[in-house]
Chains A and B, each alone.
Chain A
Amino acid sequence: MTEESVRTLVEPYILATGGLIQALRRLMNEFGYIDPEHIPVVAEVFNISKAEVRGVISFYHDFRTHLPARTRIRVCQAEACQALGARKLTQEIESHFNLKLGNMSDDRSIELDPVYCLGLCSVGPSLQVNDRLIARGSIDSIEGIGK
Chain B
Amino acid sequence: MKARLSDDSVARALDSKSVEVQLRHREINTELVGSFGLHWMEPLLQISLENKEYTFSNVSDSKLAEVLQSLPPDGVPESNSSFIGPISGQKYLKNQQRLVFDRAGNVNPLALPRSETLESILSSEPETLIDAIETSGLRGRGGAGFPAHIKWRTVADTQSDQKYVVCNADEGDSGTFSDRMLMEGDPFKLIEGMVIAGYATGSSRGLIYLRSEYPVALEYLSEAIDIAYSNRWLGNEIFGSRFNFNLEIFVGAGAYICGEETSLLESLEGKRGEIRYKPPVPAIAGLFGKPTLVHNVITLASIPGIFEIGAREYAGLGVGPSTGTMPFQISGNVKRGGLIEIPFGTPVRTLVEEFGEGTLSGRPFRTVQIGGPLGAYLSEKELDTPLTYEHMEEIGAGVGHGGLVVFDDTVDLREQAEYAFEFCEIESCGKCTPCRIGSVRGKETMRQFKDGVDIRTYQLVEDLCDVMEQASLCQMGGMTPIPVRSAMKHFPEDFGRNGF
Please list the residues of chain A having a beta carbon within 8 angstroms of any beta carbon in chain B. Answer: 17-22, 24-25, 55-56, 59-63, 78-84, 87, 115-124, 126, 131, 133-136
Pick the residue among A62, A81, A119, A136 that contacts B177 (CB under 8 A): A119
Q: Are A118 and B360 in contact (CB under 8 A)?
A: no
The residue in chain B whose Cβ has the minimal distance to the Cβ of A46 is B270
Give complex CA distance A46, B332 in Å.
Answer: 44
Residues of B within 8 A of A81 (CB): 174
Is B480 an interface residue, CB under 8 A from the partner? no
Residues of A within 8 A of B65 (CB): none
Please list the residues of chain B having a beta carbon within 8 angstroms of any beta carbon in chain A. Answer: 9-10, 12-14, 39-40, 42, 171-177, 180, 207, 212-215, 248, 250-256, 267-274, 329-334, 337-338, 360, 369, 372-373, 403, 405-408, 411, 415-416, 419, 423, 426-427, 429
Q: Are B173 and A63 in contact (CB under 8 A)?
A: no
Q: Are B331 and A18 in contact (CB under 8 A)?
A: no
Give complex CA distance A55, B171 in Å.
Answer: 24
Q: Are A122 and B329 in contact (CB under 8 A)?
A: yes
Given A59-B255, A135-B10 in contact, is the A122-B337 Cβ separation under 8 Å? yes
A–B pairs, 5, beta carbons within 8 Å = A22-B250, A119-B213, A120-B177, A122-B177, A123-B42
Do most interface residues of chain B lie in helix, strand or loop, or is the interface mixed? mixed
Residues of A within 8 A of B372 (CB): 79
A-B contact count (CB 8 A): 144
Q: Are B333 and A83 in contact (CB under 8 A)?
A: yes
Q: Are A117 and B172 in contact (CB under 8 A)?
A: yes
Give complex CA distance A66, B271 in Å.
Answer: 21
Min distance, Cβ A26 to any Cβ of chain B, angstroms: 11
Q: Are B177 and A21 in contact (CB under 8 A)?
A: no
Residues of B within 8 A of A136 (CB): 14
* 4 residue pairs, one from A and one from B, having the closest CB atoms: A122-B337, A78-B174, A61-B254, A83-B332
Given A60-B255, A82-B419 in contact, is the A122-B338 Cβ separation under 8 Å? yes
Residues of B within 8 A of A134 (CB): 13
Residues of B within 8 A of A131 (CB): 215
Min distance, Cβ B254 to any Cβ of chain A, angstroms: 3
Given A81-B174, A122-B330, A123-B39 in contact, is the A63-B253 Cβ separation under 8 Å? yes
Residues of A within 8 A of B427 (CB): 116
Min distance, Cβ A5 to any Cβ of chain B, angstroms: 22
Give complex CA distance A117, B256 in Å.
Answer: 10
Residues of A within 8 A of B405 (CB): 79-80, 83, 121
Min distance, Cβ B416 to any Cβ of chain A, angstroms: 7
Residues of B within 8 A of A60 (CB): 252-255, 273
Residues of B within 8 A of A84 (CB): 332-333, 360
Residues of B within 8 A of A123 (CB): 10, 13-14, 39-40, 42, 337
Min distance, Cβ B93 to any Cβ of chain A, angstroms: 15
Q: Are B174 and A61 in contact (CB under 8 A)?
A: no
Q: Are B214 and A25 in contact (CB under 8 A)?
A: no
